[in-house]
Amino acid sequence: MDMLKERILKEASIMTEDVLKLDGLLNHQVDPVLTMEMGREFARRFAEVHITKVITVESSGIPVAFATALTLGVPLVFARRKKTLIADPDALTERVPSFTKGIVTDIMVSRQYLTPSDKVLFIDDIIANGDAARGLIKIIERAGSELAGLGIVVEKSFQAGGRTIREQGIRVESLVKIASLEGGKITFEQ
């Protein structure tokens, strides 16, 4: 997506050699027109698959997952970040470490919204090490749902997340791949 690459070059800033600030596009502000384009692109890439649900993790994955779900005409489910100590016996929970925040969080999805008859498309904003993604993939497996694949807006391909998930045999479609942030420069993969 050339439009997305242009916007990243214009609006992103390099925080460290492995973290890119994307607040203007993904993590603090959302451009509805650009986000709908992203959703249509994911829907196009998975058009031949009969998706019954789109799934993401709150919070920054929600706008693009919504755009995808709207285009496909299916519901969107977002995994919650558990903040309560009250156990929900009907919830599927996984503990995931967070790369940027340096903390561990629990994500959860109620079994009510993810069932063995679902074929799900997992949409997310950024993939780094893939810990959050692996947690949600485990939840999808434990629900007995089928995973059609992952749609990622920005894959940092110099980190292992996307590659290791593909090595598990899961389809991963990224709108842009960033090969490096070295030397204060954003280098896209060709």
CA–CA distances in Å: residue 126 to residues 74, 106, 112, 132: 22, 18, 27, 10
Of 102, 94, 167, 100, the residue nearest 133 (C-alpha):
94
Q: In sequence order, which ranges of the chain are alpha helices (DSSP H)?
A: 2-11, 32-45, 62-72, 131-143, 161-167
- Total of chain residues touching ligand G4P, rule CB under 6 A: 25
Based on the shown chain and the rule CB under 6 A, indicate whether residue 180 belongs to the binding site for ligand G4P.
no
Residues 129-148 that bind ligand G4P (CB under 6 A): 129-133
Q: What's the chain's length in residues?
A: 190
Cβ 89 to ligand G4P, closest distance in Å?
A: 26
Q: Does 172 bind ligand G4P (CB under 6 A)?
A: no
CB atoms within 10 A of CB 83: 7
Among 39, 61, 135, 151, interactor with Na ion by CB under 5 A: 61
Residue 12 marked as a ligand binder: no
Binding-site residues for 5-phospho-alpha-D-ribose 1-diphosphate, in ranges, read 128-132
Return residues touching ligand G4P (CB under 6 A). Answer: 19-22, 27, 57, 59-61, 98-101, 124-133, 156, 161
